[in-house]
Amino acid sequence: DAMVIQNPRYQVTQFGKPVTLSCSQTLNHNVMYWYQQKSSQAPKLLFHYYDKDFNNEADTPDNFQSRRPNTSFCFLDIRSPGLGDAAMYLCATSRAFLEPQHFGDGTRLSIL
Amino acid sequence: GDSVTQMEGPVTLSEEAFLTINCTYTATGYPSLFWYVQYPGEGLQLLLKATKADDKGSNKGFEATYRKETTSFHLEKGSVQVSDSAVYFCALPLGANSKLTFGKGITLSVRP
């Protein structure tokens, strides 16, 4: 089945230690998104790629970066995680901006 | 400004009860409307959608009708099951960049 896969499902890192979350898709979609979701809240968009074009949301901290080396893969890098960055991180894809988004199961990030 | 509003939760129902979850929006034009569902420990899944006025989206016994007169897209199900326990998000593309904007989400718990 075509899908969006996030690895790992659970990630623990230390305060200030860089961490990378990964996302891959077999849908061949043009757009890939990264969301942050905290407990009992709606997902908050961090940034997205349309093909290789990167778009950062205005309120996304500089601590968060992303890479998309090819159509299938997208990475979320957190350079110096703080306690407030503990959350579920969701990757999503869509064929185009107004098309429905397909989500992975997320990576739950814990900060020690 | 553009916005999406969901009714406050959580909602607890007995199995086979009737469900209504309200969603209203403020937007320019007639955007596509979506309901997403998030089961415990998983990412979001598209539940149903409607792309124009008076369209009815349906899936898994859930229905929602695009009402432009009342700018609403209420989710309904005639007989809920325990397996419907999840968080439900109303969403639509809003703003100059047509960013998918989610309501706050509502937690549904269905007891046997």
Stretch 20-39 of chain A: residues touching chain B, C-beta under 8 Å: none
pLDDT at B41: 87
**Nearest alpha carbon to residue B3 among B75, B87, B95, B68:** B95
B99 at the A interface (CB within 8 A)?
Answer: yes
**CB contacts, 8 Å: B34 with chain A:** 100
Tell me if A90 and B43 make a contact (CB, 8 A cut-off).
yes
CB B64 within 8 A of CB B76: yes
Q: What is the DSSP string of B5-54?
A: EE----EEEETT--EEE-EEEE-SS---EEEEEE-TTS-EEEEEEE-STT
pLDDT in tens, A62-84: 999 999 999 999 999 999 999 99
Stretch 62-81 of chain B: residues touching chain A, C-beta under 8 Å: none
Tell me if B45 and A103 make a contact (CB, 8 A cut-off).
yes
Q: Does residue B54 have a pLDDT over 80? A: yes
Tell me if A105 and B41 make a contact (CB, 8 A cut-off).
yes
Tell me if B46 and A97 make a contact (CB, 8 A cut-off).
no
- Between the two ends of chain A, the Cα-to-Cα distance in Å is 36
Average pLDDT across chain B, whole number? 93
pLDDT at B5: 94
Residues 6+ apart with CB under 8 A from B42: A105, A106
Q: How far is A111 from chain B (nearest CA, A)?
A: 18
pLDDT at A82: 95
3-state helix, strand, coil in chain B (%, to 5): 5, 55, 45
Compute the count of residue pairs across chains A and B with CB atoms less than 8 Å apart.
Answer: 44
pLDDT in tens, A3-32: 999 999 999 999 999 999 999 999 999 999
Share of chain B above pLDDT 90, in %: 81
pLDDT in tens, A27-50: 999 999 999 999 989 999 999 999
Q: Does residue B62 have a pLDDT over 90? A: yes
Q: Does residue A98 have a pLDDT over 70? A: yes
Q: Does residue A54 have a pLDDT over 90? A: yes
pLDDT at B27: 87
pLDDT at B2: 78
Q: How far is B9 from chain A (nearest CA, A)?
A: 11
pLDDT at A40: 87
Q: E strands, chain A, where?
A: 4-7, 10-13, 19-25, 31-37, 44-50, 53-56, 64-67, 73-78, 87-94, 102-103, 107-111
Q: How far is A72 from chain B (nearest CA, A)?
A: 19
CB atoms within 10 A of CB A59: 8
Q: Which residue type is seen at B9?
A: G
pLDDT at A1: 64
Tokens of residue B26, six digits: 């403020």
Tell me if B43 and A4 make a contact (CB, 8 A cut-off).
yes
Q: Which residue type is seen at A27?
A: L
pLDDT at B47: 97
Cα A32 to Cα A54: distance, rounded to the nearest angstrom: 10
Say which residue, A89 or B99, is predicted with more confidence.
A89
Residues 6+ apart with CB under 8 A from A76: A20, A21, A22, A23, A34, A46, A64, A65, A66, A89, A91
Tell me if B93 and A101 make a contact (CB, 8 A cut-off).
no
**CB contacts, 8 Å: B99 with chain A:** 45
Half-sphere exposure of B86 (CA within 13 A, CB side): 20
A63-90 burial: b if 16+ Cβ within 10 Å, else e: ebbbebeebbebbbebeebeeebbbbbb
Query: What mean pLDDT comes out for the span B17-45?
Result: 93
pLDDT at A2: 62
